[in-house]
Structure 1
Amino acid sequence: MPAKVAAPWRKALLAPSARAGSLLLLLPALPVLAVTGWLLVAVPLAALGGFHPWTVLPAATVVVALLTRWAWPRLHAERARPVPWWVLAATLLVAAGFAAFTMVTHSQQAVLHRDAGTYAQIGLWLSGHPGLTTPVPAEAYGSAADMVNFAHPGFYVQGGRIVPQFMTGWPTMLAAGYWAGGWTGVFVLPGIVGGCAVLAVAGLAARLCGPRWALFAAVLLAAAWPMLRVSQTTYSEPLACLMLAGGLSLLAAGWSTGASARGRPSAAVLMGLAGLVLSAGELVRLDMGVDFALVLPAIGWWWLRRRPGGPAFVAGALLGGGLGYLDCRYVTLPYIEVNWSSVRLMIALLVAAVFGTVAGVVVLHRRPLRLGPARRRTLARAAAAAVAIGGVALAARPLLYVDHSITSPDTMGYVASHQDAFGLAVDGSRGYAEQSLDWVAWYVGWPAVALAGVGLAAAAAAAVRGRGWRLMPVLLVYGSSGLASLLRPAITPDHPWADRRLVVEVLPAVVIFATFALARVVPVLRSAPWPGSSTVAPAMLVLAGVVPAIAISVPLAPERTELGEPAAAAAVCRALRPDDAVIMIDTQWAPTVRNECGLPVAALPDPTVERLQAVVAAVRRTGHDPVLMSSSTLPLLPYGQPLEQVVYQDEREDQHQLVVRPTGTDPRRLECWLVRP
């Protein structure tokens, strides 16, 4: 009897279903709509000083419901190929398993220590305040206010206010995580967003490569350790990955439905949502404007073919891009100014893309470019050959030149110190960018990289021949941005810190194009005449694509870092009193004192005994009690005062490798000492 009952279920799971195929395209699009609806409400409220649970939550719920209501029937209008239910279930299980695992193994970086600690502190501040900025507490330091510094890494001072680093979008979500579950809510949120990003990339692969290949794409991205690592801590890359993959997926859906006269109304809505999502990515990551600029030529081509949705895309892009501009101009301006050299190039690319696209559309509208089959085949071969040559050159870069792109004195000193520790030639200008393709292979294996190269060549050829028109935006964005990230990572080159650069464009590009290659090669293998070609050879090829990534990640994935930091931060607050004004000898605990303890804090540059005595006296005259604080004892010893140990704990942190793949974590000691003069 049980066998008779199980048989229909087994048959239903294995039999292709159009509904399962439709859900495989529809469900991955929903998280990015929810996130976009949140950003459309939360970012303006945070900028205007109205960020409260009772304002942002109801308004965001309404906007998310509207976006979903507009998108749901239009996504249903997209024609989906049948797929077995088990493929849908397994893909969802991979994404959910990724989210669950990263939530359980999350780090606890609550103290200022590179970008993750900065994001956590900004989210903490915003969870209890209606706006992102706060006045400089100059009154607590009286006549010595000009001697101290209220800025520190991750936080700037402008116009008498302390302004946080980074774009506003991700901190608003971290603040909501704090509302939901305190520090635990902050730490598990990246895992949830990372799981949604895995699902979004799988959904994009389903649209471009066939729904049966969504599972392979989900497994490969979920197994890539940089994706795991950023989802275990409070980096913004998982959200940026979700926004980019989700936006491209909506764009592909709009192109698919707009290919028929019946789907034209649906295509306009989906194209508008795609423009909104892709441009709103600027609220999350500063250089997402580059990715948006690379989409524009594809939109011009779509418009040139008189397909629906071009004006809707522009309207959505103006809304999301307008919010991004306002965030840059009025909230995070100091961050923009610090990165102005990169921002200037991004603006130039956007301007060139807009005018180039418009000019190209006008010219080609008047003089259409007509290519015969023979010329298309020639151009397709040339495109594939260019990809192959570029791939070989990229792999050969370590033999061709040595990167010396680091110019910042602080970064040069940091790199040189690690080179000396590892027994490498000391040269602080080394950026190691020529080894960036090796970085990718460290985590997904060379078979997946080779498959991605084959898939990229095949996709470029298909797009040129007009047989893969939905591939065009993906080629332009993932192909071009991924290449730019590999050519110039523009990040401090210690690992796994530098591997964050791979998460948003490079790893999804490898996943999509490796999947595309398999979708083309496996059917050929199955039809080959030799023994075992129908099952053994395809299975071995698929396993070669994912097994190295899994094998590499298994020993690294469970490693947790910065455990116990929320308790350490709480201990710092318990050691301080309501009338204290803290004078930092260094800056590590400054955000904790200000954001969590709610007390005035400032750093004293060049802390000589004479300068310190002057600041202490000035603080006393204001009615506050001066407190000296440092993350080590050495800076406090010259003052001859009793030291109070507040925090002294051993924890683990990510390694700082330069030329080899990280193998685990390193020990790190977290300290906090104070003196009451």
Structure 2
Amino acid sequence: MSFTAATVPGQPAAPPSRRAPAVRRLLDAASADSARAGRLLLLLAVVPAVTVTAWLLVAVPLAATGHFRPGVVVPAAVVLAIPLVRCATRLPRRSGAGSFTAPWSAVVATSAIAVGFAGFAAVRSSQQAVLHRDAGTYAQVGLWLSDHPGLATPVPVDAFGAAAAQLTFAHPGFYVQDGMIVPQFMTGWPTMLAAAHWVAGWQGMFVLPALVGGAALLAVGGLAGRLFGARWAPVAALLLGSAWPMLRVSQTTYSEPLACLMLAAGLCLVAGAWKAGASARSAASRRDVGWSMALSGLLLSAGELVRLDMGVDFALMIPAIGWWWLRRRGGVWPFAGGAVIGGGLGFIDCRFVTWPYVLVNWSSVRLMIVVLVLSPVVTAALALFLRRRHRDVRTMRWWRWAPPVAAAGTLVLGLLLAARPLLYVDRSITAANTIEYVASHQEQFGLPVDGTRSYAEQTVSWVSWYTGWPVLVLAWIGAAGVVYAATRGRGWRFLPILLVYGGSGVASLLRPAITPDHPWADRRLVVEVLPAVALFATWTLAALTRSGETGRIRAAATGGWRAAGRLLAPTPTGALARLLVLLAIAAPALVVTARLGPNRTELGEPDAAAAVCRALRPTDSVVMMDTQWSPTIRNQCGLPVAALEDPTVERMQQVVAGIRAAGQVPVLMSSSTLTLLPYGLPLERIVYLDTHEDQHVLTWRPTGTDPRRLECWLVRP
């Protein structure tokens, strides 16, 4: 007779058999709870962007065709959002939910960072209601759409009669093309601002960027969780949210928070589909992967509806898709299908709605078109060549040198980018008005006067102002580590962020293509550069602990690296150490943001704009001596407005006579008394507002705000 350990004579056998199922039930419950937390983290990362994309797919065509009305666009967007959101939840809910787990602490921490960020940005938002740089343009286009079913409107020639030939109807933010007034910038973001105005007027427009910025932090955190492990999601969200340019664009009506959200969420969908696709066996799992890839293609290409140069980001994604096809994984054709839909709408918006804006930026657009054409052609040719030869480049003899050489090249590139101020001076500004603007500020600050300087060689310093050098160094080490892992074949899942964030980030640092006064220029860092810094720095911290997804990457380490790994190990002591290290490296960014973040600008402008409208009458035709108030009069007051360039007394008399002959009442208006005094008529002061605006500095980090005086003077001849 034989006995097992559970049936030894004289020993009770029941207790062990009762305890084992209880332990298993506890473990199963903990695993299910972690799976629910992981699923929630992923949904928080992608569902806001998918919902926004549904809105854009409906709103942009309706605005372009003159049918943008609440009763049409809102129901249609809701109907489209339901299936898109269901598609976004298929992969976490069915195929990959169990493979991605997260502690609830990571979900709570990431959400708290995003909510705190959005709440602070909303409370300290700016009030730019009068056109001033790009944020004011977006606000004015959104304001126009909130009261009109279409973007374009005929030039109001009849309101000025014979005087129309002497006037110009173009003004900041709006072009004249083929007898129509058309807006600047892509259409997607203004449609959302218009919807916010429907809900809560000006305040709704001012708060919307904060909400989108908070969602962007969730998307970047979710992407980091997918790639490095869930507990690193709050780290990436904190590093991005602590950079002041990210907060600044979320405090005013810029489009960058939305572009950042769509790019990060699209890459998060790709990361999830790639992970599930590598092990998908059943038909249902492959379908879920296909839907996720289709959505990612849609989000990444539909970014063109928000930001003109998002096509470059999409072009850099194509080689990663080619590599995925080369590995014979599913989802490539669904990705292409989604990309065709989003990219097709982006092309229509560029060619038929915002074409004058495209022409103004043709030098950059031409380069983007070249990249968009070459990327798929070269990728397809190379992938077909390797696939037909059944070759894997990693099996070639020379490839063993690729990982160390590529990683070393990444570090050298970082050093060269940082050293550019010692090597050359960038003089790439060619626009006459920008040259004059830069030269005036150089003279003001006692700098050598050279209006062609773009200061592009200093872009790495721009980033260091807001992230601190510790985070920037960690990010570049992380970029080299990701390159090493990807070229060795162990970090294939990092390929999309390496190509998109790394490639576009370097391109933005090399050629920011923006007027170089700060902080206005720093929004160029928001969409790709700052998320890249946050993600790659997070990779380095994760690699130090040798935990999570990054724990499989065994880099050659010195004794100091191993000691750091032991210190930051996943233990209670290590958790405290990780928190202290994170706060230490984020401290420079947090100090800058704490100093600049509470500043509010353009306060009082909504009331000033309302005062201008109250001073005018329905029969007025307004002639501006400058263009400061033209968008307000047209979009908010709803009155015909034009500008008289190089005014003289004789020309003014002719314009006034022409307006009266057309049956309208002539009104002269300006933001200064100087252009109205020569006519010898009594002036009426409508607005005299002292407020603040962002600084305009060239070679150092902003320290606060500048005073701004807003005036409006009226004459009734």
Structure 2 counterpart of 1:398, from 399, 405, 421: 421
Q: CA deviation at 1:572?
A: 0.2
User: Would the aligned equivalents of 1:14 and 1:85 in 2 still touch at CA under 8 Å?
Assistant: no
Pair 1:371 & 2:394 matched: yes
Counterpart in the other structure of 1:620: 660
Pair 1:296 & 2:318 matched: yes
TM-score normalised per structure 2: 0.91
User: Would the aligned equivalents of 1:448 and 1:544 in 2 still touch at CA under 8 Å?
Assistant: no
Instruction: Within 5 Å, give how 1:529-568 maps onto structure 2.
Output: 534=569, 535=574, 538-568=578-608
Q: CA deviation at 1:477?
A: 0.7
Query: Aligned partners of 2:74, 2:85: CA distance in 1, in Å?
Result: 16
Kindly provide the CA deviation profile for residues 121-154 of structure 1, in whole angstroms up to 9, marking residues without a partner as x. Answer: 1000000110011110001111111110000121
CA 14–361 in structure 1, closer or farther in 2 if over 3 Å, else same: closer
DSSP 3-state at the match of 1:157:
strand
Q: Which amino acid aligns with 1:544?
A: A
Q: CA deviation at 1:84?
A: 2.0
Q: CA deviation at 1:376?
A: 4.7
Q: CA deviation at 1:305?
A: 1.1
Pair 1:649 & 2:666 matched: no
User: Would the aligned equivalents of 1:22 and 1:80 in 2 still touch at CA under 8 Å?
Assistant: no
Structure 2 counterpart of 1:488, from 495, 511, 514: 511
Instruction: Within 5 Å, give how 1:248-263 maps onto structure 2.
Output: 248-260=267-279, 261-262=281-282, 263=285
Deviates more, 1:375-384 or 1:392-401: 375-384
Instruction: Within 5 Å, give how 1:351-362 maps onto structure 2.
Output: 351-362=373-384
Query: Aligned partners of 1:101, 1:130: CA distance in 2, in Å?
Result: 33
Deviates more, 1:14-23 or 1:232-241: 14-23
User: Would the aligned equivalents of 2:182 and 2:353 in 1 still touch at CA under 8 Å?
Assistant: yes
Counterpart in the other structure of 1:408: 431
DSSP 3-state at the match of 1:629:
strand
Query: Aligned partners of 1:264, 1:83: CA distance in 2, in Å?
Result: 24
Pair 1:174 & 2:193 matched: yes
Counterpart in the other structure of 2:474: 451
Counterpart in the other structure of 1:9: none
Query: Aligned partners of 1:118, 1:542: CA distance in 2, in Å?
Result: 38
User: Would the aligned equivalents of 1:289 and 1:350 in 2 still touch at CA under 8 Å?
Assistant: yes
CA 16–467 in structure 1, closer or farther in 2 if over 3 Å, else same: farther
CA 235–13 in structure 1, closer or farther in 2 if over 3 Å, else same: farther
Counterpart in the other structure of 1:635: 675
Pair 1:231 & 2:253 matched: no
DSSP 3-state at the match of 1:145:
helix
Pair 1:60 & 2:64 matched: no
Query: Aligned partners of 1:13, 1:361: CA distance in 2, in Å?
Result: 43
Counterpart in the other structure of 1:137: 156
Structure 1 counterpart of 2:523, from 500, 518, 525: 500
Counterpart in the other structure of 2:364: 342
Counterpart in the other structure of 2:260: 241
User: Would the aligned equivalents of 2:394 and 2:488 in 1 still touch at CA under 8 Å?
Assistant: no
DSSP 3-state at the match of 1:40:
helix
Kindly provide the CA deviation profile for residues 531-567 of structure 1, in whole angstroms up to 9, marking residues without a partner as x. Answer: 9565376445323332211111101000000001010
DSSP 3-state at the match of 1:656:
coil
Counterpart in the other structure of 1:4: none
Pair 1:574 & 2:614 matched: yes
Deviates more, 1:141-150 or 1:539-548: 539-548
Counterpart in the other structure of 1:287: 309
Structure 2's unaligned 5+ residue stretches are 1-28, 547-556
Query: Aligned partners of 2:277, 2:299: CA distance in 1, in Å?
Result: 19
DSSP 3-state at the match of 1:504:
coil
Query: Aligned partners of 1:531, 1:303: CA distance in 2, in Å?
Result: 39
Q: CA deviation at 1:650?
A: 0.2
Kindly provide the CA deviation profile for residues 36-63 of structure 1, in whole angstroms up to 9, marking residues without a partner as x. Answer: 0000100010011100000000000011
User: Would the aligned equivalents of 1:619 and 1:626 in 2 still touch at CA under 8 Å?
Assistant: yes
User: Would the aligned equivalents of 2:612 and 2:687 in 1 still touch at CA under 8 Å?
Assistant: yes
Counterpart in the other structure of 2:637: 597
User: Would the aligned equivalents of 2:140 and 2:631 in 1 still touch at CA under 8 Å?
Assistant: yes
User: Would the aligned equivalents of 2:544 and 2:564 in 1 still touch at CA under 8 Å?
Assistant: no
CA 25–411 in structure 1, closer or farther in 2 if over 3 Å, else same: same
Kindly provide the CA deviation profile for residues 85-131 of structure 1, in whole angstroms up to 9, marking residues without a partner as x. Answer: 11111110110111111111110000011111111010000001100
User: Would the aligned equivalents of 1:585 and 1:628 in 2 still touch at CA under 8 Å?
Assistant: yes
Counterpart in the other structure of 1:214: 233
User: Would the aligned equivalents of 2:277 and 2:329 in 1 still touch at CA under 8 Å?
Assistant: yes
Structure 1 counterpart of 2:210, from 172, 187, 191: 191
Query: Aligned partners of 1:527, 1:123: CA distance in 2, in Å?
Result: 54
User: Would the aligned equivalents of 1:649 and 1:671 in 2 still touch at CA under 8 Å?
Assistant: yes
Query: Aligned partners of 2:144, 2:628: CA distance in 1, in Å?
Result: 16
Query: Aligned partners of 2:584, 2:472: CA distance in 1, in Å?
Result: 11
User: Would the aligned equivalents of 1:526 and 1:538 in 2 still touch at CA under 8 Å?
Assistant: no
Q: CA deviation at 1:635?
A: 0.5
Q: Which amino acid aligns with 1:85?
A: W
Counterpart in the other structure of 1:430: 453
Query: Aligned partners of 1:13, 1:593: CA distance in 2, in Å?
Result: 61
Pair 1:528 & 2:563 matched: yes
User: Would the aligned equivalents of 1:14 and 1:84 in 2 still touch at CA under 8 Å?
Assistant: no
Q: CA deviation at 1:17?
A: 2.1
Counterpart in the other structure of 1:5: none
Deviates more, 1:516-525 or 1:386-395: 516-525
Pair 1:29 & 2:29 matched: no
TM-score normalised per structure 1: 0.96
Q: Which amino acid aligns with 2:267?
A: L
CA 239–529 in structure 1, closer or farther in 2 if over 3 Å, else same: closer
Counterpart in the other structure of 1:93: 112
User: Would the aligned equivalents of 1:384 and 1:458 in 2 still touch at CA under 8 Å?
Assistant: yes
User: Would the aligned equivalents of 2:209 and 2:252 in 1 still touch at CA under 8 Å?
Assistant: yes
Q: CA deviation at 1:374?
A: 7.3
User: Would the aligned equivalents of 1:415 and 1:428 in 2 still touch at CA under 8 Å?
Assistant: yes
CA 209–16 in structure 1, closer or farther in 2 if over 3 Å, else same: farther
User: Would the aligned equivalents of 2:545 and 2:566 in 1 still touch at CA under 8 Å?
Assistant: no
Counterpart in the other structure of 1:8: none
Kindly provide the CA deviation profile for residues 569-621 of structure 1, in whole angstroms up to 9, marking residues without a partner as x. Answer: 00000000110000000001001101111100000011111111111110000
DSSP 3-state at the match of 2:419:
helix
Deviates more, 1:530-539 or 1:599-608: 530-539
Pair 1:324 & 2:346 matched: yes
Q: CA deviation at 1:69?
A: 1.2
DSSP 3-state at the match of 1:470:
helix
Kindly provide the CA deviation profile for residues 465-497 of structure 1, in whole angstroms up to 9, marking residues without a partner as x. Answer: 111111111111100100010011110000000
RMSD (Å), alpha carbons? 1.8
Kindly provide the CA deviation profile for residues 165-185 of structure 1, in whole angstroms up to 9, marking residues without a partner as x. Answer: 000000000000000000000
Pair 1:473 & 2:513 matched: no
Deviates more, 1:14-23 or 1:609-618: 14-23
CA 233–365 in structure 1, closer or farther in 2 if over 3 Å, else same: same
User: Would the aligned equivalents of 2:545 and 2:564 in 1 still touch at CA under 8 Å?
Assistant: no
User: Would the aligned equivalents of 1:419 and 1:425 in 2 still touch at CA under 8 Å?
Assistant: yes
Structure 1 counterpart of 2:174, from 155, 164, 168: 155
CA 531–590 in structure 1, closer or farther in 2 if over 3 Å, else same: closer
Pair 1:383 & 2:406 matched: yes
Q: Which amino acid aligns with 2:256?
A: E
CA 430–52 in structure 1, closer or farther in 2 if over 3 Å, else same: same
Q: CA deviation at 1:405?
A: 1.0
Pair 1:108 & 2:127 matched: yes
Q: How many residues align?
A: 666
Counterpart in the other structure of 2:9: none
